[in-house]
């Protein structure tokens, strides 16, 4: 949720780089932010509610510009409202240390009472402040910073990524991970840490992902990793192959728009190398995808959240249709608490862009404990979900910065299509010829996506989206593989334009929600030729008869004749229509939000990666 940076350098100032690091991490949380730096004996903390630009105003005096060690934070509030006092870094009032934290300390109330009883004074409502006091208490007793942090962490329950700096003889820079991600790197003259590798890319491409229970001590040119008891831990250095440029806006006004436009390339990167044309099959790199294992599967249990869950719905449709394996699907947050039962030979399939979503991770772990084979579709190599899966299909969407997920969703849908084909081939449901036809059609999507992203097509969607700025609410309807696309279209719109939008299975409308339709209400109907196209057309009639203003998205020409407005999408086979139909819906949300003056890349109340429950 929150973004964390830290740096220590022998030769240069660290503040400017940390601010740049926070800028790229702002997508993780942006209700307040702060930095702490040490200049000689002094630790200076500056923090502010609001965006990074507010913090920068506090730094214009240049007083902290030469500091060689520091930590920084951009926050998404969990304990305590967004305010200057609750913003990180936190201290213990001694002026000796500063600490930033992402996560939740579950026993903080109990610890807070204990520390208050010793006369320690708290100045915020956060759970984080107990950590600063626990570390401060150990430092005051003469412990080194690394020992003080380890001792503090042995007292807490919960999950965290933290970075702590202290001055004086037993000072330094230390970070630790139990849950939320943390990455460290060293260069000849410096050491860096960040909650996302993006913050480290300006310095190096060789990074170390900390694992749960790791505590890292950093000094210029040096990093040592131990566990919370001090036992050494070895961690491999990983080379990042994409560069910071790929994570910048590249001339687009917003990351979301840039990411929407990247989708033809994302399709190619995620799919094309994996297609085995001769055998009409697919090969995956990470894990054991043998026919025997896939043939033994009895069931697939998908766990995911939000947009990733919508890709899971597509997976259900595709896998049941193309591989004939029953698929169950749950919100990860529900699965983990509903005392689930799994049959033998179940694949637990976690779908996640970040690979760090707390609920998805917990659901995957639970499914594994219940005997399932843990598999993931994930965009971040080295993420916790990937590390805890026995097999992974990496989506090669590249870094996704816009909070509203777009290209990562498309990549997930493409990945689960590949999975469905692989399963269908392994289990003999699909012949070589059928496999080939499906995969050939997948290849053909690229030019069709490009057509959808051509300026005139984008402008057409913009025109329609701007035509409904006064609407109080929207329905998005679909069936079959386009039902999750309706859900996704509605989610995108509500996330970034704050308009109420409901995604619904078109056939369910008459069981209640149709009562909400009033004259002129915009109803986006997603329909492409296939098994349910005529059913959707009947549902379209139903909403039109109640005065709904129908905007038809898709390639079903017969629906166009019934609609008030049309956004035409190139045709493809029914199982792949989801990949194309979602693109105009992403653009619809984008243009609607733009016209309403919303902050597209940083919508209110949201964060990119939800690493708390």
User: Closest separation between CB of residue 396 and ligand F6R, Å?
Assistant: 15
Report the helix count and the strand count for the chain, using DSSP H and E: 19, 25
Of the pair 167, 353, the CB lying nearest ligand F6R is at 353
Is 2 tagged catalytic?
yes
User: Closest separation between CB of residue 259 and ligand F6R, Å?
Assistant: 11
Of the pair 129, 495, the CB lying nearest ligand F6R is at 495
User: Closest separation between CB of residue 610 and ligand F6R, Å?
Assistant: 5
User: Closest separation between CB of residue 608 and ligand F6R, Å?
Assistant: 7
- What distance lies between CA 431 and its chain's CA centroid? 36
3-state secondary structure of 505: strand
Of the pair 563, 610, the CB lying nearest ligand F6R is at 610
Q: What is the contact surface with ligand F6R in residues (CB under 6 A)?
A: 305-308, 352-354, 357, 360, 404-405, 495, 609-610
Dihedral sign for Cα 39, 45, 50, 54, please.
negative
Of the pair 9, 609, the CB lying nearest ligand F6R is at 609
User: Closest separation between CB of residue 337 and ligand F6R, Å?
Assistant: 18
Q: How many CB atoms lie within 10 A of CB 253?
A: 11
3-state secondary structure of 169: coil
Of the pair 96, 177, the CB lying nearest ligand F6R is at 177
User: Closest separation between CB of residue 294 and ligand F6R, Å?
Assistant: 24
* CA 103 – CA 457 distance, rounded (Å): 42
- Sequence-distant (6+) residues with CB within 8 A of 456 are none
User: Closest separation between CB of residue 27 and ligand F6R, Å?
Assistant: 10
In DSSP terms, 476 is beta-bridged to 503, 524
User: Closest separation between CB of residue 353 and ligand F6R, Å?
Assistant: 3
* CA 490 – CA 499 distance, rounded (Å): 9
Could you tell me which of 322, 333, 348, 512 has the C-alpha nearest to residue 423? 322
Tell me the three-class secondary structure of 259-313, residue by residue: HHHCHHHHHHHHHHHHEECCCCEECCCECCCCHHHHHHCCEEEEEECHHHHHHHH
Catalytic-role residue among 407, 494, 602, 608: 608
Of the pair 166, 419, the CB lying nearest ligand F6R is at 419
Q: Which residue is nearest to ligand F6R (CB)?
A: 306
Of the pair 86, 384, the CB lying nearest ligand F6R is at 384
3-state secondary structure of 550: strand
Is 608 tagged catalytic?
yes
Give exposure, 356-390, as e/b (b: 16+ Cβ within 10 Å): bbbbbbbbbbbbbeeebbbbbbbbbbbbbbbebbe
Catalytic-role residue among 2, 33, 175, 598: 2
> The tokens of 439 are what?
């995969």
Of the pair 91, 395, the CB lying nearest ligand F6R is at 395
Give burial (CB, 10 Å; 0-12/13-18/19+) of 292. exposed
**Main-chain dihedrals φ then ψ at residue 417, nearest 5 degrees:** -65, -45
Q: How many CB atoms lie within 10 A of CB 52?
A: 21
Residues with a known catalytic role? 2, 608
């Amino acid at each position: 949720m929150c973004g964390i940076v830290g740096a220590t350098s022998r030769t240069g100032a660290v503040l400017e780089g940390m601010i740049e690091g926070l800028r790229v991490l702002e997508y993780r949380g942006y209700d307040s932010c702060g930095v702490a730096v040490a200049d000689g004996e002094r630790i200076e903390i500056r923090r502010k509610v609001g965006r990074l630009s507010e913090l920068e105003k506090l730094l214009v005096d240049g007083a902290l510009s030469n500091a060689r060690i520091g930590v920084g934070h951009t926050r998404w509030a969990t304990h305590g409202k967004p305010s200057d006092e609750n913003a990180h870094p936190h201290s213990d009032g001694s002026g000796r240390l500063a600490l930033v934290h992402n996560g939740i300390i579950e026993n903080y109330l109990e610890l807070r009472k204990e520390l208050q009883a010793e006369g320690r004074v708290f100045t915020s409502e956060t759970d984080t402040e107990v950590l600063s006091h626990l570390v401060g208490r150990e430092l005051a007793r003469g412990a080194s910073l690394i020992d003080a942090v380890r001792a503090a962490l042995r007292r807490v329950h919960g999950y965290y990524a933290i970075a702590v700096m202290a001055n004086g003889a037993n000072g330094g820079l230390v970070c630790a991970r139990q849950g939320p991600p943390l990455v460290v790197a060293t260069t000849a003259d410096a050491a860096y840490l960040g909650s996302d590798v993006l913050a480290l890319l300006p310095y190096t491409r060789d990074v170390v992902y900390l694992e749960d229970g790791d505590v890292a001590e950093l000094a210029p040119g040096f990093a040592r990793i131990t566990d919370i008891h001090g036992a050494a831990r070895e961690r491999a250095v990983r080379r990042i192959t994409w560069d910071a440029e790929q994570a910048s806006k590249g001339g687009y006004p917003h990351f979301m728009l840039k990411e929407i436009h990247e989708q033809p390339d994302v399709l190619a990167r995620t799919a094309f190398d994996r297609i085995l044309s001769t055998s009409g099959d697919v090969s995956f790199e990470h894990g054991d995808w043998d026919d025997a294992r896939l043939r033994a599967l009895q069931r697939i249990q998908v766990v995911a959240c939000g947009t990733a869950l919508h890709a899971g719905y597509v997976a259900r449709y595709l896998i049941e249709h193309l591989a004939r394996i029953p698929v169950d699907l749950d919100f990860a947050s529900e699965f983990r608490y509903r005392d689930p039962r799994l049959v033998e030979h179940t694949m637990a399939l976690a779908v996640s862009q970040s690979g760090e979503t707390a609920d998805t991770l917990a659901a995957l772990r639970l499914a594994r404990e219940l005997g399932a084979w843990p598999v993931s579709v994930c965009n971040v190599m080295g993420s916790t979900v990937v590390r805890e899966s026995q097999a992974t299909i990496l989506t090669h969407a590249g870094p996704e910065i816009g909070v509203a997920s777009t290209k990562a969703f498309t990549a997930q849908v493409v990945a689960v299509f590949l999975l469905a084909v692989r399963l269908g081939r392994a289990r003999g449901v699909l012949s070589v010829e059928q496999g080939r036809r499906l995969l050939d059609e997948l290849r053909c999507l690229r030019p069709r996506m490009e057509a959808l992203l051509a300026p005139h097509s984008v402008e057409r969607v913009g025109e329609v989206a701007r035509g409904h700025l006064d609407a109080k609410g929207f329905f998005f309807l679909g069936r079959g593989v386009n039902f999750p696309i309706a859900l996704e279209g509605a989610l995108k719109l509500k996330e970034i334009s704050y308009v109420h939008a409901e995604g619904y299975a078109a056939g369910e409308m008459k069981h209640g929600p149709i009562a909400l339709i009033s004259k002129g209400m915009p109803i986006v109907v997603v329909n492409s030729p296939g098994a349910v196209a005529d059913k959707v057309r009947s549902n379209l009639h139903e909403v039109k008869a109640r005065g709904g203003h129908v905007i038809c998205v898709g390639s079903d020409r017969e629906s166009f004749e019934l609609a008030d407005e049309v956004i035409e999408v190139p045709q493809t086979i029914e199982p792949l229509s989801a990949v194309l139909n979602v693109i105009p819906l992403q653009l619809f949300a984008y243009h609607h939000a733009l016209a309403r003056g919303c902050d597209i890349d940083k919508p209110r109340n949201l964060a990119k990666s939800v690493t708390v429950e």
